[in-house]
Amino acid sequence: MHKAMVHAYERYLKEVLIDSDAVQARVAELGAQITADYEGVDSLMLICLLKGGVMFLTDLMRHIAVPHEIDFLAVSSYGRGQRQATGKVRIDMDLTGEVTGKHLLIVEDIIDSGFTLRFVMDVLQARHPASIKLVALLDKPSRRKIAIPVDYTGFQIEDKFVFGYGLDLDERFRNLPFVGVVREDAIRHE
């Protein structure tokens, strides 16, 4: 690939916030903790929120030694720009399987206002699972508008718009192995 293409993200990057080694180390720790907590559970299902949770899921599941299923749920907030949440969330793509009676662990990239997770947890709760817990790679507690119990958090971060490791900048750069802060002048204000 041409060098200019490989480094296309650099003009949007203010700084690397969490480098690849730190992400991987923390993901391994979370996996070990989850493994210990779910020891003996035989109906664990990881529910990955698309699209941002994909890279986190695929790394995290390699560190979860408890047998488990995976499934995917795509939701979107509508009437929002990158920085404003309206609280209106809808399902774009539902799970493929049943969750009744199963122990669910929601795998999310980042929690901001909390509206997305509130909606997802309510939808799943209505299907009568055995339990619901949440693991988020990143958490911006200062942005919270609605209380959400986060069972496992990778990193708490300040109120900065970040990208990489599953998180997009206008749908691109989810493949970066690190979490970077977006340069202010590169954010499209909507």
Inter-residue contact 159 to 182 (CB < 8 Å):
no
What's the Cα-to-Cα distance from 82 to each of 27, 29, 132, 146, 187, rounded to whole Å? 26, 30, 27, 18, 9
Instruction: Choose the binding region for ligand IMP from 9-17, 20-28, 40-48, 110-118 (rule: CB under 6 A).
Output: 110-118
Closer residue to Mg ion in complex, CB, 52/114: 52
CB of 174 to ligand IMP, least distance (A): 10
- Given ligand IMP, Mg ion, none, residue 59, with its beta carbon under 5 to 8 Å by kind, binds none
Please give the size of the binding site for Mg ion, defined by CB under 5 A: 1
67 vs 74: CA distance, rounded Å: 24
118 vs 68: CA distance, rounded Å: 24
CB of 92 to ligand IMP, least distance (A): 12
Q: What is the DSSP letter of 148?
A: -
81 vs 68: CA distance, rounded Å: 35
In the Cβ-directed half-sphere of 97, how many Cα atoms lie within 13 Å?
Answer: 16
Q: Which of 127, 61, 63 is nearest to 95 (CA)?
A: 127
Contact between 52 and ligand IMP per CB under 6 A: yes
Among 12, 60, 107, 114, binds ligand IMP (CB under 6 A): 114
CB of 18 to ligand IMP, least distance (A): 12
Closer residue to ligand IMP in complex, CB, 59/108: 108
Which residues, numbered 48-107, are part of the site for Mg ion (CB under 5 A)? 52
Asked if 112 is an active-site residue, the reply is: yes
What element of type H or E holds 138?
strand 131-139
Contact between 116 and ligand IMP per CB under 6 A: yes
Backbone angles phi, psi at 173, to 5 degrees: 70, 20
Catalytic annotation, pick one of 59, 109, 112, 139: 112
CB of 41 to ligand IMP, least distance (A): 26
Give catalytic residue positions: 112
